[in-house]
Amino acid sequence: MSSNLRPIGVFDSGVGGITAVKEIHDLMPGEDIIYFGDVGRVPYGNKSSDIILKYASQDISFLKSLGVKMIIAACGTVSSIINIQSLNKDLPFIGVINSACIAAINSTKNKKIGVIGTETTIKSNSYSKCIKSINKEAQVYQKACQVFVSLIENDISSLPYDIVYGIVKENLSYFNEFNIDVLILGCTHYPIIEPIISEVMGPEVKLINSGKEAVKYAESVLKNQNLKSSGTFGGKCSFFVSAGAKTFFETASRFLGYNVVGNAREVNIGLY
Ligand code: DGL
């Protein structure tokens, strides 16, 4: 198959990376996608670096076995601990940290930037280091919100709005005293609850969707390497998961606006 007709590979620990899939559909509607969600081993964000590296390398081997032309680690946790440069050898490999930090620096007026992510992401300081390498005057305030991942993986829509709003508000109250004007959603799960985060933070705080920024960057890489599909519509996404998960299919279908169930298969990721 000609290089630019091959699909883009996208992976995450679970349903979070579908926020990047949505952006690919919107920005590059002619691109086919293969999505792998490691639902059987979610969450990644409270696991050790060694385990996350092992899981990520299996996820990557699986996507490569299907002949993808690019891989997007649509996962803040994996992007925080993996050496992206070292993976950029046989095909372009994109993480979510750099492009989100650039967007945050371009958006902030007061140089006070908040970051939310998983426990591992926040402990790694990946976003903070990257922001300061772009602008050392920026002040970065970080808060791990691992609980948001569990809420989203366990079908947030089944919980009363007030309960979810209360949990989000309590976690984000950390930022009250810092006067941030930008908040990076440093975990790809979080755009699924973006309306609630936005309501809690208020209109003066701009939210940066890390998956969306990564997809914009991915488009520029595909163009530069002559890998972009010439198609302008009709791109399809095939879904693979490491365990059957009703919630994954429901959340993904709701977020993407089409039914993913008939288009999903289970894979034994331990074999990769
Ligand atoms: N969506 C992922 C991230 O961006 C992983 C969340 C998790 O599995 O804890 O960090």
Structure confidence by residue, pLDDT tens digits, 36-88: 999 999 999 999 999 999 999 999 999 999 999 999 999 999 999 998 878 87
Position 187 pLDDT exceeds 80: yes
Residue 90 — pLDDT band, cuts 50, 70, 90? confident
Helix (H) or strand (E) holding 143: strand 139-144
Three-state DSSP at 68 gives coil
Task: Show the tokens assigned to 166.
Answer: 């209360």
Residue 158 — pLDDT band, cuts 50, 70, 90? confident
Q: What is the mean pLDDT of residues 158-163?
A: 91
| Neighbouring residues of 162: CB distance < 8 A, sequence distance ≥ 6 | none
**Torsion angle, alpha carbons of 65, 71, 74, 75, to 10:** 70
Compute the distance between CA of residue 237 and CA of residue 177 in angstroms, rounded to an integer. 42
Domains of the chain: 3-95+212-271 (3.40.50.1860), 98-211 (3.40.50.1860)
pLDDT on residue 139: 98
Position 209 pLDDT exceeds 90: yes
Distance 2 CA to ligand 1 centre (A): 33
Q: Which atom of ligand 1 is nearest to the CA of 14?
A: 8
Structure confidence by residue, pLDDT tens digits, 110-133: 999 999 999 999 999 999 999 999
Q: What is the mean pLDDT of residues 173-194?
A: 97
Whether residue 188 has its Cβ less than 6 Å from ligand 1 = yes
How far, in Å, are 111, 130, 145, 166, 243 from residue 135 at the CA level? 9, 9, 25, 34, 42
Residue 155 — pLDDT band, cuts 50, 70, 90? confident
Task: Show the tokens assigned to 35.
Answer: 């999505």
The reply to whether 101 belongs to the active site is no
pLDDT on residue 87: 81
